[in-house]
Amino acid sequence: MASKATFELTAAQERLLNDMPLTFLVGFDEAKRWPISHAISWVQALDAVTVRFALTRNSHIVTILTTEKTAGLIFIEDGQSYHVLLSAIREFDPAVKPSLHLRFFEGHVEEVRNISFYGAAYAQPEITKTYDIRAAEKLDREVKESLHS
């Protein structure tokens, strides 16, 4: 479905991202000339034009982000899928450190576009943690706090 681009997140999109939904981070590996995708949930919208996210420190996309400085986020909100183009991505050191060694990034929202195909509606996928639920919830709280610090 063709859509006009907007240049910031809506309030509903901000709230959704702050609930840490399944989100796909897409970067471009210039050396190999192909896109690289990662499923993440540690995403937070600080405001309508600033998004922060955390990645495991040895993730391949960390290398890409330190050189390319642009990426895309794909998520589902209110039955539609959206692509957010991020620019000026930079790594930051949070004031609050989680117990897991992670890398933290912040990007500027350049464009938000509905990328759903005509006649489609999507449901928000449920994320099931496959390890100790208390440890997972504790880590999620720590990372969320770090992303806002």
Residue 2 has pLDDT above 70, yes or no: no
**Domains in the chain, ordered, with CATH?**
11-147 (2.30.110.10)
First to last CA, the chain: 37
What three-state secondary structure class fits 62?
helix
Most distant CA pair in the chain, distance: 45
Using pLDDT thresholds of 50, 70 and 90, give the confidence band for residue 129: confident
Q: Locate 97 and state its tokens.
A: 């450190």
30, amino acid identity: E
* pLDDT digit string, tens, across residues 13-34: 999 999 999 999 999 988 889 9
* pLDDT digit string, tens, across residues 29-72: 888 899 999 999 999 999 999 999 999 998 889 999 988 899 99
Distance, in Å, from the CA atom of 69 to the CA atom of 25, rounded to the nearest integer, reads: 13
